[in-house]
Amino acid sequence: QSALTQPASVSGSPGQSITISCTGTSSDVGAFNYVSWYQQHPGKAPKLMIYDVYNRPSGVSNRFSGSKSGNTASLTISGLQAEDEADYFCSSYTSSSSRVFGSGTKVTVL
């Protein structure tokens, strides 16, 4: 199974909105509404930010939102803040009942 494709980096100024894409195939992202997103600060374990495409766990800011169209899922961060600077990974369930992650995107707050 190949990793899902994400842009290596995305940047934005405080207060702006940014969107991170996650492109898979008809066997993973396109087949199921089981895309999740994780935030990882340096030296820390990943943290769940979005599950099942657009659901937010309790405690996650509503500045984070998810969507999907076809084989591509997206994470949007609105009102960008300095604390949002981190790596972000998407993940999807696959047709072989396994899990696949994205290549990761480094978000920089300018």
By CB under 8 A, which span of 13-21, 29-37, 64-72, 74-82 interacts with another protein? 29-37
7 binds another protein (CB under 8 A): no
**Nearest approach, Cβ of residue 6 and another protein (Å):** 8
**Nearest approach, Cβ of residue 106 and another protein (Å):** 11
**Dihedral, CA atoms, 61, 68, 51, 78, nearest 10 degrees?**
-10
Site for another protein, residues 74 to 93, rule: CB under 8 A: 89, 91-93
Q: What is the DSSP string of 51-82?
A: BTTTBPPTTS-TTEEEEEETTEEEEEE-S--G
3 binds another protein (CB under 8 A): yes
